Amino acid sequence: MTTISRAAKFAERTSRLRASTIREMLKVTQQPDIISFGGGLPAPELFPTREIADCTREVMDEYGAAALQYCVTEGIPELRNWVADRLRKRFGQPLDRSDILIVNGSQQGLDLIAKIFIDPGDHIVLEHPSYLGAIQAFDAYQARYLSVQTDEDGIVPESLEHVLDHADPFPKFLYLIPNFQNPTGRTLAHERRQAIVRICERFELPIVEDDPYGELRFEGSDLPPLASYESEGIIIYLGTGSKIIAPGLRVAWVATKDAEVREKIALAKQGADLQSGSLAQYIFLRYASKAEAFEAHVARIKSTYHHRRDVMAEALAALGIPGLRHNMPQGGMFLWATLDGIDTTELLKISALQKVVFVPGVSFYPERDVHNGMRLNFSNAGDDSIRTGIARLGEAIRSFSHQH
């Protein structure tokens, strides 16, 4: 009897699909006594559970069968109106419902964008480091990556120009997260935004602007999205309800003025899932339309995360470990720490024994070339857990340093 290799049956594109360190770690964090700064989870105690239950009942009473029926691929028109309104307020430029497509999480937006742009071997330009979930989505289409130098103020425009001047093949798009980036919590400086839009316009490089955290600013002033600058180029903006209402609804949106891109994304979405769930869209819309309660809810999320960031930063400072540095993001859910001369993947093995986990920075670099970073999530743990977890992390760092 001959054994046929199962590997031979799978498409070439699956060879790049690796188990995500984050997902694997989320399994570990199911254990109750582990404190996790690893996931990117919003605080579940802030979910508007009762209000969503009320909205569900109201939607069923008002729309009945229509809320359970198929809807158009682009999403229910009233929800697209709501998104256009909200973005108009932040963009300060006219957007209308035809510019908006509802997707099943911005993660689906990334997959669909990859599907319509990426041929095997194509280059994509990324921040250094970048969001692991985007890299996973692009990997499935056999992308390769060009990293742009990134500092505390986000992508360095001169580095972007340099990369584009020398790129072969020329990349398909630039992917970036301008606000409170995942994983670093960094924000692209105001003065760099216009510069990056102009460079991409000059090189005719589309921009994919992923903005799940922009609404979670708890200090400083909002900065204009890249998509708000006048440009001849293609700019595709992704927003989501995951961090302002709840990720379980999977309601997110793609906004672009480019009709051809919108049409291709809609066709790709038809092939993937026909449409996002009608019921979730109606429930989301009902909740978000109760403007006063909704804004109060977003404000509560921001003040809670603000406080938790402070608790984490104070706890880190109190450790007094030389060579441990961290930033102070003005919003979002993540803080980025570095440890001089320490490989944080190795550190994680010890810290997991101390019952605290984080995501080692190397996971976010496609070249896997930087080893001393840590992504620390501050949104998902209460004050006591944050303090205990950071104290455990301090112990882990100390015992790691003794052993090496």
Q: Which is nearer to ligand PLP, 104 or 344 (CB)?
A: 104
- Which residues ranging from 132 to 161 are in contact with ligand PLP (CB under 6 A)? 133
Q: Is 38 in the site for ligand PLP (CB under 6 A)?
A: no
State the greatest distance between any 2 C-alpha atoms of the chain, in Å, as a whole number: 70
Residue 198 contacts by C-beta under 8 Å, 6 or more apart in sequence? 231
* Residue of this chain nearest to ligand PLP (CB atom): 105
- Residue of the chain from 73, 242, 304, 372 that contacts ligand PLP (CB under 6 A): 242
Say if residue 6 is exposed, middle or buried (CB neighbours under 10 Å; 0-12, 13-18, 19+): exposed
Q: How many residues touch ligand PLP (CB under 6 A)? A: 14
At 175, the amino acid letter reads: Y
- Which residues ranging from 171 to 190 are in contact with ligand PLP (CB under 6 A)? 177, 182
Could you give the string, one character per residue 187-226, with x where binding to ligand PLP holds by CB under 6 A and - elsewhere? -----------------------x-x--------------
Find out whether 211 and 177 touch, Cβ atoms under 8 Å.
yes
**What's the min distance (Å) between Cβ of 250 and ligand PLP?**
7
- Which residues ranging from 85 to 124 are in contact with ligand PLP (CB under 6 A)? 105-107
Q: Which is nearer to ligand PLP, 177 or 200 (CB)?
A: 177
Instruction: List the beta bridge partners of residue 155.
Output: 150
What 8-state DSSP symbol labels residue 161?
H
Q: Which is nearer to ligand PLP, 177 or 288 (CB)?
A: 177
Q: Which is nearer to ligand PLP, 212 or 329 (CB)?
A: 212
- Which residues ranging from 256 to 285 are in contact with ligand PLP (CB under 6 A)? none
Query: Alpha carbon 112 to chain centroid distance?
Result: 15
**What's the min distance (Å) between Cβ of 242 and ligand PLP?**
3
Find out whether 311 and 386 touch, Cβ atoms under 8 Å.
yes
Find out whether 399 and 346 touch, Cβ atoms under 8 Å.
no
- Residue of the chain from 240, 351, 354, 379 that contacts ligand PLP (CB under 6 A): 240
Angle at 204 (CA atoms; ends 123, 235), nearest 5 degrees? 85
- Token look-up 């859910």 returns 333
Question: Which of 110, 181, 191 has its CA nearest to residue 156?
Answer: 191
- Residue of the chain from 252, 254, 312, 347 that contacts ligand PLP (CB under 6 A): 252
**What's the min distance (Å) between Cβ of 174 and ligand PLP?**
14
**What's the min distance (Å) between Cβ of 217 and ligand PLP?**
15
Q: Which is nearer to ligand PLP, 133 or 277 (CB)?
A: 133
Q: Which residues of 199-229 are buried (b: 16+ CB within 10 A; e: fewer)?
A: bbbebebbbbbbbbbbbbbbeeeebbbbbbb
CA dist., res. 176 & res. 134, Å (int): 10
Binding site for ligand PLP (CB under 6 A): 40, 105-107, 131, 133, 177, 182, 210, 212, 240, 242, 247, 252
